[in-house]
Amino acid sequence: MGELQLGFGRNSPLATGTSQLELRGRWEVSNAATAFQRLFHVSLLSFVGRVVRVFSPPQSPGLLFEFGPGMKDRFARLIGQHTAVTPDNPGIGHRDAWWRRLAAGAAIGASFREEGTQTSLHIAFNETLCDVHVDRNGFVITEGGFTHWDLNGLLRHLTLDLAGDKAPWLLGSATYLDRRQRPLVQATVGPWLTVDLPSRETGDRTAVKIGFVVRGSF
């Protein structure tokens, strides 16, 4: 038989009262580890010393962990030298530094994102802790050598991913797991906001749409 999990508010499992084996075996950890492996071709769990928290929907699925002995520097080199992710803070001399640093300000340390407007791996780490999760809405695009944010992707990120992390009582989620505790269906319901900039289709006017959206894997 499968298992239906309903999420509302902050319900992420903590290391306190839950074994490390159980935490490492959660589907949310597997989800983040699979995305990490796809980008870096290295096992995420090889860097994990102790899992501190597992992020469960309506939060963006993933985990917060302490680095294993000697693993922080290896992790930092891997992330910093790889083109698969883009730093939120590109450095003070970068053309877009001021607005990209806004995204970095909410992270626990150095922060990197997978490019694209679909699901997006987000990595943030400091000297001892690392947060790896999969955002349901990416918003980083590189064109012509310059990185910018997709407006509607950013709005979806703010209303689903960021709200799920900072104000999870605004969202609801449902996950159906198979016998092996793998998600067959995972859906999150939250507010929806989109802004269509002036174009021929909108009569050269800005169109703002508000409603609800369902995001996930089906």
Residues 7-50 have pLDDT tens digits of 666 666 676 778 999 999 999 999 999 999 999 999 999 999 99
Q: Which two tokens stand for residue 42?
A: 């290295």
pLDDT in tens, 169-218: 677 777 888 887 778 777 777 666 667 666 555 556 676 667 666 666 65
pLDDT in tens, 105-164: 566 778 899 998 888 999 999 999 999 999 988 888 877 777 777 777 777 777 777 766
pLDDT at 212: 62
Half-sphere exposure of 209 (CA within 13 A, CB side): 11
Contact 2, 9 (CB under 8 A): no
Written as one letter, the residue type at 1 is M
Short-list 112, 118, 117, 108, CA closest to 100: 112
Supply the pTM of this predicted model: 0.81
Q: Is 39 exposed, middle or buried (0-12, 13-18, 19+ CB in 10 A)?
A: middle
Could you tell me the residue ranges of all domains in the chain? 10-167
Within the chain, how many helices (H) and strands (E) appear? 6, 12
β-pair type (85-87, 172-177): unpaired
Contact 135, 106 (CB under 8 A): no
CA distance 31 to 133: 8
pLDDT in tens, 53-90: 999 888 889 999 999 999 999 999 999 888 889 888 76
